[in-house]
Each structure stands twice: as C-alpha cells, then as structure tokens.
A = this chain, B = another copy of it.
Amino acid sequence: MTDRAPIPRDPSNDYTPEMAERRAAFLRERTGVTLDHVRRCSFDPSVLPGNIENFVGVAQVPIGLAGPLRIDGEHAHGDFYVPLATTEGTLVASYSRGMRVLTECGGVRATVVKRSMQRSPVFMFGSALEARDFGEWVGENFEGIKAAAECTTRVGRLVEIEQYAVANLLYLRFDYTTGDAAGQNMSGKATFAACEWIRESHPDHPKYMLSGNIDTDKKHSAINTLRTRGRRVVAEAVIRSDVLERIMRVDTRTLFRARQISNTGALLAGAASNGPHAANGITAMFIATGQDVANVSESHAGITYAQLLDNGDYYWSVTLTSLIVASYGGGTGLPTQRECLELMGCYGQGKADRLAEIVAAVVLAGDVSLGSAVLAGDWVTSHERLGRNRP
C-alpha cells in the first residue's frame, strides 16, 4: 500500500453540487487552486451519471458561429449555421469564409456512402489450420452469430464479419450498423454475446480476446481508411472560378497545381489525410455537439479528390472514411451539447446521417478556405491579425 490521498466520493449519490464542491475543496486544500470558473456550470449534476465520474465542474469552451453553409444532402438540406467550439483564433472566421464560397457556388452535396462500426475479437488456436477451419465455420454460422449479437441491442445490426488470418490466430472484424448512436459500446456488447455463443456452439470451444486491436478503436489506421469506421461520407462541390477568385483571391489552376504537390506530400509522409485540416472542423463540432471527441483520432482521416474542369471550375471533394457521430446517447443530451445539435436539427433519433452530412460539408468548407488562403499568401498574416492569443 501507499500513502495515496484518494478523491472524495459518495457511493450512494455522487452526482450532487455538494460532492462537486467537496472535491473542489479537496483540490483547493491540496493544490491551493480555487476552481472559480470550472465550478460554475449552468445545470444540475444529477443529469451526469453515464457521462462522467468524480464530477467537479465544467470546461467552458467558447463557441463561435459559422455559416450559413448551404447543403444539398439526402438528410441535410438547406442553409446551416454551425456551432464551432474551439479556442483557436481565426478558425471560425476561416470556416465561415469557405462556407461563403461554397454557398455562393450553390452549396455542398453530402452523401453517407457506408455505415460500419466494429468490435474485433481474436480467436486463438493450436495451428493455422485450425484457425482457418474455424474461419469457415464462422462463415457457415453467420446467421447464428448474428442472432446472438443482435439479442443484445434494439438497433444494432451485424452486417459482416471480416476475417484476417495471422499465424494460429483468426482476427475477426464484426461490422455493425448502429443507428443514431456512435455504437462502440453497442458493438462491444453484441460482439461479446456473439463470441460467447461461438465459444459454446463451436465443438472446440475456442478461446478469444474481445479485441485483437484491429477495431481500431480510438486510433487512426489503414484498415479504417479502407473498410470504414463509423460513417463514410463524401462532401463535394463545384467551385466556380470567378467566386473563388473574388472571395479567396486564388485561381483554380493554381489550386489544382498545389493539389498535386499536396497529394505527393501526403503520400511521401504516410499521412492519414491528404487534405488541409479536416481535424479542425470535426473537433470543433464534436466538442460543441457532445460527440466522443477522442474519435477525432479516427474521424480526421480522409481523402481529398479534386478535378480541374474544362471550363476552369473546380470539382472539390472530401471523403471522410471513418467519421464517428451520434445524434443520440453519450454526451448528445447534455444541456449545451443538445442545444447545439438542435441548432442544426440534429438531436435525437434519425438524425445521425444528417449530422454526418453537415460535418463533412463543414470540413469541405474549411479545406476550401485554408487550401486557398495558403496560396493567396495571406495565411500567415490572417493568423497574425486575428490570432493574437498566441506567443
């Protein structure tokens, strides 16, 4: 044992202003720091079970409003005002500028092209041959496995079980649709039930681990880029050369030339994305709307694909391959987060696709803006002018 000073907790009901205050006092005593601002939240801690433990207050992250952004998606249609929670100066201004370009060009088409959330157990055998035979068994027993998995969830659906054989192991990748939830937990529970069913049903009762690390939860991976994690969403627009020159002071030919060099740089660097800065918009929207912000690690990956059209206009697209969003569950129901979702008509059931389309459209707007600004030579200067809270 060691002389740890544990954080005060009340096992009977820890989600009270009193307990938050008790912890703040404990910190004050230990560190001399008073949590004046952290302590001032606008809601009662009783809404927080399932979202936090050892609650002590809130981080207040400034929200700026960007927009309007015209979107022409299957689920999002119209002009949107987007709440961006960030502390990075110029970010909201930059995204707004890109939104203006896109809106003046007629807006962004946004399309969810695939839905797939994973849990990836690994089964262990005495030999590669047994592992391979087990793989065949899994294929033949897909319906049974699916039934076992789906017992645990109302909305989750097991769509596919990918198989990856290595040594005497068989890595499986269970792919689910999970409705409007991000779905990691849903997928975890369902896969656990499925694995237990497998263990019981298969004559050899094979051993497994619930994750063999190819899910790949909370980290970027090549497998995500290829096979999708969460939603695969495309945002695309035709940028008119006159609009771009007027607003961004850059011509589409220069843009396309720069794209070649950026693509080459991304290939050279082994980058998760060949675009400018998808992570910025995604993160700011994730914080504002109560997403699991750690999923920025996966969600920022993507592929920018552009074409210079014969008339000088510019087809610009971004494909987010691993965008994880929810309109329901997790942090989406918390007070400020829900308000931000509601601003975009994205709170509650049946709204996750809409949110995904908006996020992708916002990413495109930010890329149009920064991708152009760099070439117009005002990139450093705009940071200078607006971003003074920096050394």
Contact = CB atoms under 8 A, between A and B. Distances in A.
A127 interface: yes
Contact of A87 (B52, B54, B282): B52
A89 interface: yes
B7 A96 contact: yes
Interface in A112-132: 113-114, 120, 122, 124, 127-129, 131-132
Contacts of A272: 219-221, 272, 297
Interface string A264-294: 1111111111111111101110011010111
B335 A37 contact: yes
Interface string A226-256: 1000001010100000000000000000000
A50 interface: yes
30 contacts: A7-B65, A23-B65, A36-B339, A37-B43, A49-B89, A51-B389, A53-B92, A54-B96, A56-B64, A57-B336, A58-B336, A61-B331, A87-B334, A88-B292, A111-B127, A111-B128, A166-B305, A167-B319, A179-B391, A210-B374, A211-B262, A213-B264, A219-B272, A219-B279, A222-B270, A257-B307, A263-B263, A268-B303, A283-B296, A329-B391
A40 B38 contact: no
Among A48, A209, A261, A333, the most chain B Cβ lie within 10 Å of the Cβ of: A261
A31 B41 CA distance: 25
Given A55-B64, A109-B128, A214-B268, 10 more contacts: A41-B60, A52-B92, A54-B66, A59-B288, A60-B334, A185-B390, A209-B375, A219-B271, A221-B272, A226-B270
B4 A104 contact: yes
Interface residues of A, number: 184
Interface in A197-230: 209-214, 216-226
Nearest to A334: B87
A151 interface: no
Interface in A1-53: 1-2, 4-7, 23, 27, 30-31, 33-38, 40-43, 48-53
Given A89-B50, A128-B113, A279-B218, A226 B269 contact: yes
A293 B297 contact: no
A27 to B, nearest CB: 6
Contacts of A305: 166-167, 169, 260, 264
Contacts of A61: 58-59, 61, 287, 331
A145 interface: no
A270 to B, nearest CB: 3
Nearest to A338: B37
A4 B165 CA distance: 32
B186 A390 contact: yes
B225 A268 contact: yes
B171 A265 contact: yes
B60 A55 contact: no
Contacts of A135: 113
B288 A294 contact: no
A164 interface: yes
